[in-house]
Amino acid sequence: MASALLLLRSVLYRPWLLATLAAAASATLLLLASLGVAMHQLQQGESEQMNARGERFLERLEQIFGQLREGVDQLQAQPLRGCSPSMVETLQQIGFNYRFVYEAAYIDRSQSCSNRFGERARDPVRPPDIQGPTYSYWLNTTTQPNDNLAALMLGSGNFRVSTSRGHLTDVVDLPANGSLLVVLDKGTRAVPVLGSPQPWPPTSDWPPATTDALLATPSQLIYRMPTQSPDYQLVLITPRADSQLKMNMVLWLLFPGSLLLAWCIGWLVMQLVRQRRSLSAELQGALRRGELQVLYQPIFELTSRRCVGAEALVRWRRPDGTLTSPDLFIPLAENTGQIRQITDFVLQQLLEQLGQMLRANPHLYISVNLAACDVMVPRIGRVAARLLALHRVAASQIAFEVTERGLIDVVVARDNLQALRDVGHQVLIDDFGTGYCSLAYLQTLPVDCLKIDKTFIDALGHDAASSGVAPHIIRMAHALQLRVIAEGIEYEAQALLLNSEGVNYGQGWLFAHPLNARQFTELVTRGRRMAKRRFDDEA
């Protein structure tokens, strides 16, 4: 598995290949995202436009219906009946008084008359399309392009009042190829009042279960207008034929912009990879030239303030004196596999520099950080055994620190860590609480000590969400009979609080900065904590 990952890294670790992949992936994602946003905006714009149009329709239709009802009510209230000149004059007055009334008529069994034709023979009248308790409604059912045809007629008793297509067209902004329908018979029949006839029902699952006024299909927008009568419903239908044209225009704008942005991303990736490759080559040269340096962060027993060991840290000082941050070159070394050389270098350096002191102080130990690649394979145990035999140092004086994030495969890691413990090495979990190692896994891992991350130490004594994490980790470690080391202690109050919580050991600037081998040896030899006189990090 590890060799396969290294092979994959070596294949992908090429500027042009990675840049091309990044550009292609970003172009695809940008186009898809742009299309999604454009489609959403077009649909939202269509919906908003349709909602606004439907609201205007409903407002104007309510005005028309209101005038028709008022006209019929006024005719019903006056005493005249029959087609006398007075009746014709009354009908004409209704036409003058109401803007939307095209024709007002009186009809009985023997005669009919209206404001437009005077007295005339009664025309046969078909049954109403809608028979209400107070009014009856007749709807236009012809598609002839005649603006003077009655589009909507309302009647009560012997009186009929109607509005024409021309009146409706004047006040209603009907879109091209749109239709205004009156839906009858519980949604089974639709009569076009304006516009062309439409297939009915418009969808296979009509009426829809949703109560939303606007329904969108791939080809149509359907707006259902609420009415006060349960006998009919007003429906506005418009096509979506222009959406494709709008999308084509949007695509012409999005396509070159997405390609340009993808090219920029590919160029940035290529520059980054080249920089990392250059840094990787420099790191390899630094190993050969001895530019890497090992420092030691002392670890103290909190009760006695006695130094019990140290954590080995690696620093990279360039020939010009500048420092390269470990946060930059350590992840790079892990990606390129150079971390193995660095780990071996740290082991060799600390035994060469501190071997004599470790032999003279059997209670001291030095911990070395292990990368995930060394946790997953048993290589480091063989390297350590060879170096320990060469310098005659006990395995118990070299501890290995692993992070939770390095436990990629817990089963494999458990076997390899157990092999290290079997020969005498201590195993520490570093930065505990920042990874994904659960309590169930922790109980099965061969671990001697937990190191609490500095983040949780800084939160102690503050009203922060993470202030209770450190005490929880301490209690859990005690329940598992593990030692606890607190990292990043900077203040005396932190040390006292941690000691009262049962923490065994601590490290941080309260006690000492990272020290070189000479300074660390001086610290151990003198047997005192370096509180008043701290050595700066010289790397």
Instruction: Read off the pLDDT of residues 240-270 as tens digits, 9 standing for 90 and up.
Output: 655 554 555 555 566 666 666 666 666 666 6
pLDDT at 538 over 50: no
Q: What is the pLDDT of residue 530?
A: 45
Give the Cα separation of 123 and 11 in Å (integer). Answer: 90
Closest CA relative to residue 517, chosen from 287, 345, 295, 290: 295
Least confident of 37-51, 68-82, 493-507: 37-51
Mean pLDDT comparison of 168-177, 223-232, 490-499, highest-scoring range: 490-499
Q: What is the pLDDT of residue 398?
A: 95
Indicate the angle between helix axes 339-360 and 326-336, nearest 10 degrees: 110
Least confident of 278-292, 339-353, 429-443, 483-497: 429-443
Question: Residues 488-511: what's their mean pLDDT?
Answer: 91
Least confident of 100-109, 150-159, 345-354, 372-381: 150-159
Both tokens of residue 538?
């010289």
Question: Residues 223-231: what's their mean pLDDT?
Answer: 69
- What does DSSP assign to residue 474? H
Give the Cα separation of 141 and 150 in Å (integer). Answer: 10
Q: Sign of dihedral through CA atoms 194, 195, 197, 199?
A: negative
Of residues 120 and 257, more confidently modeled: 257
Q: What is the pLDDT of residue 184?
A: 75
- What does DSSP assign to residue 281? H
Token look-up 């309510």 returns 62
Both tokens of residue 442?
């922790």
Question: Residues 155-182: what's their mean pLDDT?
Answer: 75
Contact 372, 332 (CB under 8 A): no
Question: Residues 441-469: what's their mean pLDDT?
Answer: 78
**Phi, psi at 276, each rounded to 5°:** -65, -35
- What does DSSP assign to residue 515? B
Both tokens of residue 238?
């418009």
Q: Sign of dihedral through CA atoms 493, 499, 502, 505?
A: positive
Average pLDDT of the chain to the nearest whole number: 78
Tell me the CB-side half-sphere exposure of residue 411, using CA atoms within 13 A: 0
pLDDT digits (tens, 9 = 90+) for 75-95: 999 998 888 889 888 988 988
- What does DSSP assign to residue 186? G
Give the Cα separation of 267 and 326 in Å (integer). Answer: 26
